[in-house]
Amino acid sequence: CRVAVLISGSGTNLQALIDARQHGALGPAELVGVFSNRPGAGGLERAERAGIPTCVIDHRQYADRSAFDQAMQAALESWQPDLLVLAGFMRILTEPFVARYAGRMLNIHPSLLPRYPGLNTHARALAAGDAEHGATIHFVTGELDGGPAILQARVPIEANDTAEQLAARVQRKEHQIYPAVVRWFSEGRLTMHQGHAYMDGNAI
Ligand code: GRF
């Protein structure tokens, strides 16, 4: 199973996938390329260190989302990916791009969806006085952070937590669950049909 990872930032989730692969914990998933829309993304160095091909296309060079997504798709297709893994990829995707990879694109979002789609999730969970918070891995559909959930990880919110402390606690969990889900997909266990996610043929 050929996996391309899309990033915009530091790439700690990418690193977790690289480490899992090196420890034999990613099953038949192969990391065939890392794509970034940000030239300076820290994750690019992680990819290079691991010997994974990289591609950077700066979205600011494109007139609109559609032109950028078309360029990105052409670049990704050269890797012939079976799965796209969004790991801190901070772009909203156009309908044709989402449709092209329907059922073959995963995202990780730092909240217990459907709570807190969008940005600043840690601060929002703190402001709401929530007792717990976490991360969700889901299939990507046309709805922002709205596709069917596959796996969630929960963490407690402690008294006097800052958004940074909470983010770090959530990220440690992210690094555990993303490799597991990528492995399941690569083993053919995870599918999406008509907007629902299935594991081993059972609705999740
Ligand atoms: C993660 O918290 C992820 O949930 C969110 O962006 C962050 C990416 O972090 N979508 P990293 O680049 O993997 O370190």
What is the ipTM metric for this complex? Answer: 0.95
**How many domains, the chain?**
1
Query: pLDDT tens for residues 12-39?
Result: 999 999 999 999 999 999 999 999 999 9
Q: Does residue 163 belong to any structural domain of this protein?
A: no
Q: Does residue 53 belong to any structural domain of this protein?
A: yes
Q: Does residue 168 belong to any structural domain of this protein?
A: no
Of 86, 171, 172, the residue with max ligand 1 atoms within 8 A of its CB, to mutate for a pocket test, comes to: 171
Helix (H, G, I), strand (E, B) or coil at 131: coil
CB 174 within 8 A of CB 108: yes
Give me the active site residues, please.
109
pTM: 0.97
Strand pairing category for 2-7 and 30-36? parallel
Q: Does residue 26 belong to any structural domain of this protein?
A: yes
Residues of the domain holding 76: 2-110+135-154+173-203
**Angstrom distance (rounded) from CA 13 to CA 176:** 9
> Which atom of ligand 1 sits closest to the CA of residue 14?
13
Left (φ > 0), alpha (ψ -120 to 50) or beta: where does 52 sit?
beta
* Residue 110 near ligand 1, beta carbon < 6 Å: yes
Nearest CA to ligand 1 atom 5: 88
* Residue 171 near ligand 1, beta carbon < 6 Å: yes
Which among 115, 129, 117, 119 is positioned nearest to 158, based on CA atoms?
129
| Helix, strand, coil in percent for the chain, rounding step 5 | 35, 25, 40
Interval between CA 193 and ligand 1 midpoint (Å): 26
> Which atom of ligand 1 sits closest to the CA of residue 86?
10
Q: Does residue 180 belong to any structural domain of this protein?
A: yes
Q: Does residue 167 belong to any structural domain of this protein?
A: no
Query: pLDDT tens for residues 89-138?
Result: 999 999 999 999 999 999 999 999 999 999 999 999 999 999 999 999 99
Q: Does residue 165 belong to any structural domain of this protein?
A: no
The CATH number for 26's domain is 3.40.50.170
Q: Does residue 159 belong to any structural domain of this protein?
A: no
